[in-house]
Structure 1
Amino acid sequence: MEDLIAELRTLLNGGGAHVSFKEATSGIPFKMLGEAPHGLPYSIWQLVEHIRIAQWDMLEFSRDAGHTSPEWPKGYWPSESAPSDEPAWLRTLEKIGDDLEAFMTLLETEDLYKPFPYGNGQNILREALQIADHNAYHIAEIVMIRRLLGIWK
């Protein structure tokens, strides 16, 4: 079990074949966070905020039977294309890291396979894989936008 948890931690942190969230979001000029190049539907800010909202929702669903998810899809996407200011950007990045760490605690303290007493048979393992898959998908979009904007290595 320890090996599986270690692999899940690596996966959730962007290890192996994936760019990490931290790597994908570091060094972005603030003024470019709201850019949506070539008619793309989302900016980097909107993708990062979407990651925050969705990851928070999966975390809360995993630890609170009374949690109510946002309305889909509207509640999962910010309407603004850019953060209001740099502190808002930094708070979002910090919240994503804090929520991910809180989820990691669940990985280490809960039975990975035991279905939640609510929901439709979900468990911690399923939620971990869903967070990793969802984040990797949108992290790749962030990298693509950065390439289109000429701000990727």
Structure 2
Amino acid sequence: MMSRKEVILEQFLLTHNKNGWFVSFESAVAGVTPEQALWKKSQLENSIWELVNHLVFWNQYCLNLFKGIPNTKLEGGNDTTFKSSGHSEWLETVDRFNAVMVEWYEIIQACGDEKLDQLYHPESKSSWITTLSSLALHNAYHVGQIVTIRKNQGIWNKENGVS
């Protein structure tokens, strides 16, 4: 039987670079060009690039909290997290997500169970184990959006894991 930590680690692997019941981030963005990453069906939707910016932001934000590093105040609300914070190239943006996910995996693997039981924020009622599970689900949700965008573009190969 898997421990709680092993379940969370598996969830982080599945949303990052291990295909399982759904496509991982790595598979979802494989071969995407900058032009494809910027494409939007309409202005009401986010592009792949914007979704990855959002994932980078929230995974780094939560990782900083986990490590006890203060975050800057989020100006403008959640909508601003979809925008690029600089002039990063597409592959640099993907690399930033990959790097934060590798760091997450390593830090979760090294932490004790007592850390997982701590509140993720002093004003919260959620423990880190609950927050990490929610973060993994959040990642999976947006990876699914990336696959859907690729399907809408006609650039998804169902042999990559989703028909």
Tell me the TM-score normalized by structure 1.
0.82
1:57-87 C-alpha deviation (Å, 9 max, x unpaired): 111122226334423224312069xx95xx6
Taking only the aligned residue pairs, the percentage that are identical comes to 23
For residues 55 and 10 of structure 1, do their structure 2 counterparts lie closer, same or farther at Cα, with a shift above 3 Å needed? same
Contact map agreement 1:62 1:127 (CA 8 A) in 2: no
| RMSD, aligned α-carbons | 2.6
Which of 136, 143, 148 is equivalent to 1:144?
A: 148
Does residue 97 (structure 1) correspond to residue 98 (structure 2)? The answer is yes
CA contact (8 A) 2:12 2:136 kept: yes
Q: Is the 8 A contact 2:120 2:131 kept in 1?
A: no
Specify every segment of 5 or more residues in structure 2 that has no aligned partner in the other structure, as ranges.
158-163
1:20 is aligned to: 24
Query: What's the counterpart of residue 67 of structure 2?
Result: 63
Alignment: residue pair count:
149
Q: Distance in 2 between matches of 1:138 and 1:32?
A: 16
Of residues 83, 87, 94 in structure 2, which corresponds to 1:78?
83
Partner Cα separation in structure 2 for residue 29 and residue 125 of structure 1: 35
Gaps (5+ residues) in structure 1?
Answer: none
Q: Distance in 1 between matches of 2:30 and 2:151?
A: 14
Matched to 1:133, the amino acid is L
| Residues 58/117 of structure 1: CA separation in 2 closer, same or farther (3 Å cut) | closer
- 2-side partners of 1:79 and 1:121: how far apart? 31
Instruction: Provide the C-alpha distance between the structure 2 equivalents of 1:13 and 1:148, rounded to a whole number of angstroms.
Output: 26
User: How far did 1:115 drift?
Assistant: 2.2
Corresponding letter in the other structure for 1:76: T
Q: Which residue of 2 aligns with 1:10?
A: 10
- C-alpha spacing 1:39/1:91, structure 2 compared with 1 (3 Å): closer
Query: Residue 65 of structure 2 contacts residue 71 of structure 2 at CA under 8 Å; is this kept in 1?
Result: yes
CA 1:117–1:13 in structure 2 vs 1: closer, same or farther (change >3 Å)? closer
- 2:161 aligned residue: none
2:65–2:120 CA contact under 8 A, matched in 1: no
Counterpart code for 1:20: S
Q: Which runs of 4+ in 1 moved over 4 A?
A: none
Q: Give the TM-score, by structure 2 length.
A: 0.78
Change (3 A) 1:23 1:69: farther
In the alignment, the residues of structure 2 paired with residue 12 and residue 45 of structure 1 have an alpha-carbon distance, to the nearest angstrom, of 20
Shift of 1:6: 2.2
* Structure 1 residues 117 and 89, CA gap change in structure 2 (3 angstroms): closer
